[in-house]
Amino acid sequence: MILAYVCGEPTKSKTDSNKIFEELYYFAFDANSITAELIIAAHRCHQAIEYQGQKAITWQKSVTRNSLEETWVIEGHFHVLFAVGELMRRKRIGLDDAEAAIGLVEDAMGIVEIYARLHARESAYRMFRLTSSKDELLQVISGLDDPTPERPRQLYFDFNEGLR
């Protein structure tokens, strides 16, 4: 959780879990920056994300058609946690503020859902193990920060008034 939330490494959280207590130990558990409050906030936020994942599993079991629309929630929980941390950093909210983190879970899930929809042809299992997933999530977040990206301007011609 700390690798994803604090250190901004959701893919390592997912794929390098056996290294967390080896070469990643001092990165994930830096005594100068990791506090009990920070760990509690990451844990509480992750619990909220896991609750959403359980809701998705329940929903999947309840539908009669074979739908995999929500499987990204199950595989992408560390990426949602990463997105919460990134949103908090951008809003300059301390990562130890559990209530603020939980309040951003829905926004973070929306961000990861956009990423998942952009990769709808890939399995969620593979998608969240790609090293590019973090950078692509950051692009989605940045795109949301700038809601008016450059778009070609459409011209309109009115025979009575000319070109507008």
Domain ranges of the chain: 2-144
Cβ burial of 109 (10 Å; 0-12, 13-18, 19+) is: buried
Q: Are 44 and 30 in contact (CB under 8 A)?
A: no
Read off the pLDDT of residues 35-77 as tens digits, 9 standing for 90 and up: 999 999 999 999 999 888 888 777 766 664 545 456 777 788 8
Read off the pLDDT of residues 1-10 as tens digits, 9 standing for 90 and up: 888 898 888 8
Q: Are 29 and 35 in contact (CB under 8 A)?
A: no
Neighbours of 15 (CB within 10 A): 15
Q: What one-letter code names the amino acid at 130?
A: L
Question: In whole angstroms, what is the distance from residue 30 CA to residue 79 CA?
Answer: 21
Give the mean model confidence (pLDDT) for residues 87-101. Answer: 95
pLDDT tops 50 at residue 156: no
In the block, tokens 């961000």 appear at 111
pTM of the predicted model over 0.75: no
